[in-house]
């Protein structure tokens, strides 16, 4: 499936980031999802089609002039020593960002309900962290590498956000 071959390299970078800053392992007990950012609208459709045989459930929303799909996949997506995820997020780039953002594996999100504690520990450990939110959930973003790929710690699961945002596809 398109872009999934990049996941192994991403996971290697994630492990190196976690080890470099000695991040607490409890932040990574509940991997939630992998996010793929597509090149453009046509790529978005191709990625969704590439996963169609393995999708059990799918939700799609329009947000900020782009489409975002949340898909529950039949087989778990392995994240090396971080377990596996059942959810995949596929994103069109924002129209004004086409050609500027990471294309491919954009981020992974891990569920951890106490974002204030994560942020405080990250600051103590000297890790740059950016708090972010949208109407459906809050998260902390860490930039992993010079390609701009990210790690996100969130206080809600993609399955919950998909249910709140539900727009049949």
For residues 122-141, average pLDDT: 93
Residue 169 has pLDDT above 50, yes or no: no
Token code pair at residue 113? 């309900």
Let me know: does 70 contact 58? Beta carbons within 8 Å: yes
Over residues 3-55, the pLDDT tens digits come to 778 999 999 999 999 999 999 999 999 999 999 999 988 999 998 888 878 88
More confident residue, 157 or 141: 141
Sheet holding 66-78, edge to edge: 55-63, 66-78, 84-91, 31-37, 104-111, 150-154, 137-143, 130-134
Q: What is the mean pLDDT of the chain?
A: 89
Highest-scoring range by mean pLDDT, 51-55, 95-99, 109-113 = 109-113
Number of domains in the chain: 1
Strand partners, 143: 150
* Separation CA 136–CA 18 (nearest Å): 27
Please identify which residue in the block is written with the tokens 């007990």.
Answer: 29
Token code pair at residue 112? 């951890």
Output the CA angle 130-132-136, nearest 5 degrees: 160
* Separation CA 23–CA 94 (nearest Å): 31
List the one residue out of 68, 71, 75 whose CA is nearest residue 88. Answer: 71
Please identify which residue in the block is written with the tokens 């998909």.
Answer: 162
Let me know: does 162 contact 155? Beta carbons within 8 Å: no
**pLDDT confidence band for 104 (50 / 70 / 90):** very high
The model's pTM is 0.90
CATH of the domain at 46: 3.10.180.10
Q: What is the CA radius of gyration of the chain?
A: 15
Domain that residue 112 falls in:
4-165
pLDDT at residue 1, rounded to an integer: 64
Over residues 80-90, the pLDDT tens digits come to 999 999 999 99
Q: What percent of the chain has pLDDT over 90?
A: 59
CA torsion through residues 157, 159, 164, 169, sign:
positive
């Amino acid at each position: 499936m398109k872009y999934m071959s990049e996941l192994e390299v991403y996971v290697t970078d994630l492990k190196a980031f976690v080890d470099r800053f000695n991040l607490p392992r409890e932040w990574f007990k509940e991997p939630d999802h992998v996010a793929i950012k597509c090149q453009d609208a046509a790529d978005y459709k191709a990625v969704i089609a590439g996963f169609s045989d393995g999708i059990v459930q799918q939700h799609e929303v329009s947000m900020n002039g782009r489409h975002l799909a949340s898909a529950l996949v039949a087989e778990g997506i392995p994240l090396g020593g971080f377990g596996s995820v059942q959810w995949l997020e596929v994103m069109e780039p924002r129209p004004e960002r086409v050609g500027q953002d990471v294309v491919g594996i954009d981020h992974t999100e891990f569920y951890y309900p106490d974002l204030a504690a994560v942020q405080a520990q990250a600051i103590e450990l000297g890790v740059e962290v950016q708090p972010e939110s949208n109407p459906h959930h809050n998260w902390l973003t860490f930039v992993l590498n010079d390609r701009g790929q990210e790690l996100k710690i969130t206080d809600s699961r993609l399955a919950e956000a998909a249910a709140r945002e539900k727009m049949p596809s």
